[in-house]
A and B are shown apart, each in its own frame.
Chain A
Amino acid sequence: MWRWVRQQLGFDPPHQSDTRTIYIANRFPQNGLYTPQKFIDNRIISSKGYEDWLRHNSDNEVNGAPVYVVRSGGLVKTRSKNIRVGDIVRIAKDEIFPADLVLLSSDRLDGSCHVTTASLDGETNLKTHVAVPETAVLQTVASLDTLIAVIECQQPEADLYRFMGRMIITQQMEEIVRPLGPESLLLRGARLKNTKEIFGVAIYTGMETKMALNYKSKSQKRSAVEKSMNTFLIIYLIILISEAIISTILKYTWEAEEKWDEPWYNQKTEHQRNSSKILRFISDFLAFLVLYNFIIPISLYVTVEMQKFLGSFFIGWDLDLYHEESGQKAQVNTSDLNEELGQVEYVFTDKTGTLTENEMQFRECSINGIKYQEINGRLVSEGPTPDSSEGSLSYLNSLSHLNNLSHLTTSSFRTSPENETELIKEHNLFFKAVSLCHTVQISNVQTDGIGDGPWQSNFAPSQLEYYASSPDEKALVEAAARIGIVFVGNSEETMEVKTLGKLERYKLLHILEFDSDRRRMSVIVQAPSGEKLLFAKGAESSILPKCVGGEIEKTRIHVDEFALKGLRTLCMAYKQLTSKEYEEIDRRLFEARTALQQREEKLADVFQFIEKDLILLGATAVEDRLQDRVRETIEALRMAGIKVWVLTGDKHETAVSVSLSCGHFHRTMNILELINQKSDSECAEQLRQLARRITEDHVIQHGLVVDGTSLSLALREHEKLFMEVCRNCSAVLCCRMAPLQKAKVIRLIKISPEKPITLAVGDGANDVSMIQEAHVGIGIMGKEGRQAARNSDYAIARFKFLSKLLFVHGHYYYIRIATLVQYFFYKNVCFITPQFLYQFYCLFSQQTLYDSVYLTLYNICFTSLPILIYSLLEQHIDPHVLQSKPTLYRDISKNRQLSIKTFLYWTILGFSHAFIFFFGSYFLIGKDISLLGNGQMFGNWTFGTLVFTVMVITVTVKMALETHFWTWINHLVTWGSIVFYFIFSLFYGGILWPFLGSQNMYFVFIQLLSSGSAWFAIIIMVVTCLFLDIVKKVFDRQLHPTNTEKAQLTETNSSIKCLDSMCCFSEGETACASVGRMLERVVGRCSPTHVSRSWSASDPFYTNDRSILTLSTMDSSTC
């Protein structure tokens, strides 16, 4: 009564050196091969604790999901993380597989089940998986107990579609070996559909599942700003060390002379005298390092983290990024990359579900050379039809009329059927073909409301839910149903079609499955009348050449017209088979299908033989509706200097047509193609030709179309050439891409010489690797599960939100953090340079200029808040201007605000300010004159405090100069910081601190403030410092204004005055109460509810300056 399944080593595959052994465990837990379920590996414990915590929560949800495992002859409920390799797991309908399972049995007799892998590869169709016949009969827990089997299979690998193994079943002392292929493997992450329950053996769990292997390990992404921050840090480290070295050397040159080293008034202790020279040298060097270490802004890192964390909330809070229909707001998973959103140079986007809604809709068709449009469930012919347009139309009307009736009164009508059949023979056949030639599944779900099948149809007539292997098929079948030919179901052998309420049974004889080489599929059915028909459906390039009859030329024209509209087209054809023909077909098919060798080739031959001499019925055009404002968004991205690449798994034609319709490709563009390359040399030749065309063709813009296979060829040997071509193309479209290929393309761009910043947008699990590879990964919270959203850095509901995310949030975050970083370095240079200069006046004795409490609190209290608030709230330009003028994005491209030039400017500014503080104070006391009205003298601590006071004020006011957006919070922290410094200093110097050893600062600050000259000196020094900066700013703006500065000017006449901005908060209202009537104006203007936000949504995407002006004045007048 025991059973486990052992597993053995030594199974072949040539490129797989080892296989794994699997024990099916119903009873005993195993020792080996235990892989804990861990969803996404997030081991790095960092400051991103909060985000990690969120992520872990969702991991835990998956890990902790209850599953039923067969143990001890019964079902045991456990958590999915406890599943071990070899466990038999029971999965019920609509559950997600917790591990990679080999199907043992389902509730069906044939051991088949349906699954959807939408969250894995983005394919939303139902896939049929079958169990080995020997195990398929074991449908109960009890019967499973009798199973003795061994599974041998490959070691885990990432390819979703490859699986090889075999199962050795011991039955009645006899070993039966059954091959296992992908069709018996149920992948973790897929969902069971249309099947009550299944049993399966877990063969890969946890991180070994194919899904997990397909995730690239989550690496920590670092933004460009962080990188340049580190560069600056190194520069400052060099400054620090060289300052320390200079100081140490100078110290020893001074000390060479006895009179400076040890004058009579300042003797050393014995210990100091006797210590070794080298030790003294080292300790002196270290002492200088300690003295100057504040030049390295350690608090910068804390502030940056805080800014990123707090700042990222604004994305989630943004109503403009909130999608009303789905109730989804933007999500930030990695706040580390906020500023990277302002640096994007390449956007890689998935197509289906990202650019499009992923909702196929039947739009038009061409039947027998006549074009029709579907309008409200009726076919309306388009344009003049050569003959009998009247009749055709009237038929259509009546048909749809009947159709409508059928909705209401089921099948209780009957109107001159013979008339109809005559009139609409072609249409009838066409739609029969549509409703028969497909692999659509039906599930008669009694609206259980789960609705996770993306293609579930929700149209009323029959309460049918269609599941299709492709959304197009579903759309077609639905369309046929709307027209009146309703596919109501298929059982094993028959397909039932209700034509105008009349049920017809077609015997399904053969299905010639779709494959991507043939690019068509066919069915052979036996009509109720007994005749055998073949219906074929496929891309026009694969159907039309096979046709011998029908309106081929007209249809071809129509198909082209459809494609131009960005519709996805399919052609339908049929063929009547004589019973003799059918017999041969049947025989040959059977032979091919049962062939043991070269089955595929033989099948292909047979299909070739069958699908010929067709009669064309017509063509269909299905629209995958583009998302809202995709065209505008892409256009805006392009204006912002961002290159857009569309990476899709779709076929070439569809991809091109969607690209055209979404504005990715223009009609005026010269479209270059690199497709269907089979060999290296061919590919290289083609590339060279393209490169030549780019230089020769005098077209402004080029677009490039590449497909997956050509791409991998191009990347293997001719990377440089390919990149060259790509860089010269303003739009690139890659079709037929595998998920990892997408990631590879991005990596290639990332490591190209310019090191551009890349952004990837996608919605499906197939986009995850690309999202993780790109510098910034954006997930669209679409219909295909939440994998992409969960693995992305930012998740948004719609593609169009990208423009606000990049142009407004990205721009702001970049400006904010760039200023934050520069300012931090600046203020620390200001801080420590006087200290360095002071060493020249104190014999390099490491005497500090400032009191130790000031040293500590400078970065923590006196100067930290204004910059933090600035970095959270700053808006140097109005957000609407930013969004309507994407070109402004170019102003910050290439990390411009953190370029070496600006960095030098800030550093030099810092040094010059430091010189002004120090030498200003130095010359003020001149020959050490008294600064007090009573003739008394100041000491070194007062001198330092004077420098420090000037510094705190200057540095704070410098921040104020940088601030373009003064809310009451800015006012509070800016002026508050200065006030706090004064209050603190008064307090600190006001008492003798009992626990402090030295009372250096006692009354120093108060004495300083009692000196008139000190006040005047503070004022003049602060003014002088800022003078430099203001002059530079004003002249820059006047003589070489940047676009950003011009844009700022266009909105200067907007509303709020300084005073108003201070009075706009609750305390302010009381404070301003005395201002009486002005208060009313102020509060009226400032109350946020008055500010109309409607126009941000309603105003046209591109507004010229004038409209901005009028809008902003309107804005101010409303509040």
Chain B
Amino acid sequence: MAMNYNAKDEVDGGPPCAPGATAKNRRPDNTAFKQQRLPAWQPILTAGTVLPTFFIIGLIFIPIGIGIFVTSNNIREIEIDYTGTDPSSPCNKCLSPNVTPCICTINFTLEQSFEGNVFMYYGLSNFYQNHRRYVKSRDDSQLNGDSGALLNPSKECEPYRRNEDKPIAPCGAIANSMFNDTLELFLVGNESYPTPIPLKKKGIAWWTDKNVKFRNPPGDQSLEERFKGTTNPVNWVKPVYMLDSEPDNNGFINEDFIVWMRTAALPTFRKLYRLIERKSDLHPTLPAGRYYLNITYNYPVHSFDGRKRMILSTISWMGGKNPFLGIAYIAIGSISFLLGVVLLVINHKYRNSSNTADITI
């Protein structure tokens, strides 16, 4: 049966050419396209057709919104400002440049335990990583291990391109200003010894960045040899090949470095610092209780009114804690539903008149 239909369709539904077309040469072809008669769906936005859409949007969006909102609310997050501008703050002493190295400790309490993987971020405010001059100031081929660019970095890196006639590796303002505070977390337990929380420093950068985009210069020698002929950025104490002890987290592929190199969109931003993996299903990763944060305070933000924060957060499937999306869904869903009701009333009220109303000439 279906075969039959198909055969028939091909016969008269085939090329859209009418029999009359051949009658005269100059006669325009009677095809659907040329005669602007292509079969077409002609939707019209009337109250009648839109009404159900409004209700459907309302009915779908409100539950989604509630779901997202609840998910977001279940996320635990704590933010600790350790800038030290407040004179009472333990880190206040570190504001003066004389104290080096400066180590300060901040106590805090978790009211509720953090379950699952916990993510440790550092946050900076008033730091314009999105400034054009700053964003440009990097050399992606150098970071990708290109040996030519290693010794002759891109001009974009100016004024962080060369130091004392030696090319800087990694060059540019972004690399030069890499965040260099060290944060350590301790749980103050019942025992007198505070327990250090194990912080994992791998897995904080995008996999593709770490494995493809960022590469150390090629070669079999030691990392130091491979970076030979370059110098460290002016603000760095150590050269790039001494960022970490582990060889797969050293040089350009150091994850702290990679994270820093992904410039933030806004002047207040967070960057992932460490992971705190959950130990087992039985114990929470970070049980409620008192903690202290040990900071090696190196990074100056005072000069530009910046703030420094440490954030501990759990994560849902949709990221960190932000009620905005949930609220937006609930709001739009409700408005849609309300408008649907309004339209229903209007439609009902005006139905008779609009149906009989003819075109006024």
Query: Which residues of A are interface residues toward B (Cβ below 8 A)?
Result: 259-260, 263-270, 313-314, 316-319, 322, 324, 327-329, 639, 841-843, 845-847, 873, 875, 879, 885, 887-888, 920, 922-940, 942-944, 961, 964-970, 992, 997-999, 1002-1003, 1007, 1011-1013, 1016-1017, 1020, 1023-1024, 1027, 1030-1031, 1033-1035, 1037-1039, 1041, 1043, 1046-1052, 1054-1058, 1060-1061, 1064, 1069, 1073, 1076-1077, 1079-1080, 1083-1091, 1093, 1105, 1119
Contacts of B272 in A (CB 8 A): 930, 935-937
Q: Are B263 and A1027 in contact (CB under 8 A)?
A: no
The one of A319, A933, A1083 that contacts B28, using a Cβ cutoff of 8 Å: A319
**How far is A514 from B136 in the complex, measured between Cα atoms in Å?**
90
Q: Across the two chains, which residue of chain B brings its CB closest to A996? A: B140
Give CA–CA (A339, B6) in the complex, Å.
Answer: 42
User: Does any Cβ of A come within 8 Å of B230's Cβ?
Assistant: no
Q: By the criterion CB–CB under 8 Å, are A967 and B40 in contact?
A: yes
The reply to whether B131 and A1002 contact each other, CB–CB distance below 8 Å, is no
Task: Give the distance in Å from the alpha carbon of A934 to the alpha carbon of B207 in the complex.
Answer: 11
Which of A319, A944, A1017, A1119 has the most chain B CB within a 10 Å cutoff? Answer: A319
Q: Does B265 contact A (CB under 8 A)?
A: yes
A-B contact pairs, 22 of them (CB 8 A): A264-B300, A265-B177, A313-B34, A314-B34, A319-B30, A329-B26, A639-B361, A842-B128, A845-B130, A845-B133, A925-B266, A930-B119, A930-B319, A935-B319, A967-B38, A997-B154, A1002-B208, A1002-B213, A1012-B317, A1023-B332, A1046-B357, A1088-B31
The residue from A922, A1041, A1055, A1089 contacting B18, defined by CB atoms under 8 A apart: A1089
Q: Bound complex: CA of A242 vs CA of B205, how far in Å?
A: 41
- Complex Cα gap A773–B263 (Å): 62
**Within the complex, what minimum Cβ distance (angstroms) separates B212 from chain A?**
7
Taking CB atoms, residues of chain A closer than 8 Å to B127 are: 265
Q: Which residues of B contact A1058 (CB under 8 A)?
A: 41, 43
Whole-angstrom CA separation of A263 from B300 in the bound complex:
11
B45 beta carbon closer than 8 Å to chain A: yes
B9 touches A1084 (CB 8 A): yes
Interface string of B315-332 (1 = CB under 8 A from A): 111111110110011001
Q: Tell me how far the C-beta of B121 lies from the nearest C-beta in chain A, rounded to whole angstroms.
A: 8
Contact of B13 among A316, A934, A940, A1087 (CB under 8 A): A1087
Of the residues B24, B176, B336, B347, contact of A1038 by C-beta under 8 Å = B347
In the complex, what residue of chain B is closest to A876 when comparing beta carbons?
A: B42
Contact A926 B322 (CB under 8 A): yes
**B135 CB–A CB distance under 8 Å:** yes
Residues of B whose CB lies within 8 Å of any CB of A are 2, 5-6, 8-9, 12-14, 16-18, 24, 26-32, 34-47, 50, 57, 61, 64, 68, 117, 119, 121, 123, 127-138, 140-141, 144, 154, 156, 158-160, 173, 176-177, 203-206, 208-209, 212-213, 259, 262-272, 275, 300, 303-305, 313, 315-322, 324-325, 328-329, 332, 335-336, 339, 343, 346-347, 350, 354, 357-361
Asked, given contacts A875-B36, A966-B41, A1011-B319, whether A1034 binds B133 with beta carbons under 8 Å apart, the answer is: no
A999-B140 contact, Cβ under 8 Å, with A940-B135, A1064-B39: yes
B335–chain A nearest beta-carbon distance, Å:
8
Among B57, B135, B359, max chain A CB count under 10 A is at B359
Distance (Å) between the CB of A1043 and the closest chain B CB?
5
Which residues of chain A come closer than 8 Å to B30, judged between CB atoms? Answer: 319, 1093
B300 partner residues in chain A, CB cutoff 8 A: 264
Q: Looking across the interface, which residue of chain B has its beta carbon closest to that of A1031? A: B339
Contact yes or no, A265 B318, CB < 8 A: no
The residue from A264, A931, A1034, A1090 contacting B319, defined by CB atoms under 8 A apart: A931
CA of A873 to CA of B173 in the docked complex: distance in angstroms?
53
Instruction: For B213, give its contact among A842, A843, A944, A992 (CB under 8 Å).
Output: A992
In the complex, chain A residues whose CB is within 8 Å of the CB of B269:
928, 937
Q: Which of A265, A1030, A1052 contacts B173 (CB 8 A)?
A: A265
The answer to whether A940 and B315 have CB atoms under 8 Å apart is no
Question: A843–B304 contact, CB under 8 A?
Answer: no
Q: B residues within 8 A CB of A922? A: 266
With known contacts A842-B128, A924-B325, A1033–B45 Cβ distance under 8 A: yes
Residues from chain B with Cβ under 8 Å of A1083 in the complex:
9, 13
Q: CA of A604 to CA of B46 in the docked complex: distance in angstroms?
A: 75
State how many angstroms separate the Cβ of B325 from the closest Cβ of chain A: 6
Please, how many angstroms separate the alpha-carbon atoms of A1046 and B355 in the complex?
9
Is B305 in contact with A259, judged by CB distance below 8 angstroms?
A: yes
Contacts A1038-B354, A1056-B42 given; does A1030 touch B50 at CB 8 Å: yes
Sample of 5 more A-B contacts, CB < 8 Å, known A843-B267, A1037-B45, A1091-B37: A263-B304, A1017-B325, A1058-B41, A1061-B40, A1088-B38
A1076 to B6, CA, bound (A): 9
Q: Kindly report which residue of chain B lies nearest to residue A1021, judged by CB atoms.
A: B328
Report yes or no: A269 in contact with B158, Cβ–Cβ below 8 A.
yes
Q: How far apart sit A1043 and B358, CA to CA, in the bound complex (Å)? A: 9
Q: Is A318 a contact of B128 with CB atoms below 8 Å?
A: no
Q: Which A residues are CB-close (under 8 A) to B316?
A: 933
CA distance A845 to B57 in the complex (A): 40
B39-A1056 in contact (CB<8A): yes
Check A929–B322 contact: CB distance below 8 A. yes
Counting chain B CB atoms within 10 Å of each CB, the highest count among A933, A942, A997, A1069 belongs to A997
Judging by beta carbons under 8 Å apart, are B304 and A1034 in contact?
no
Contacts known (A936-B204, A1013-B325); A1038 close to B319, Cβ less than 8 A: no
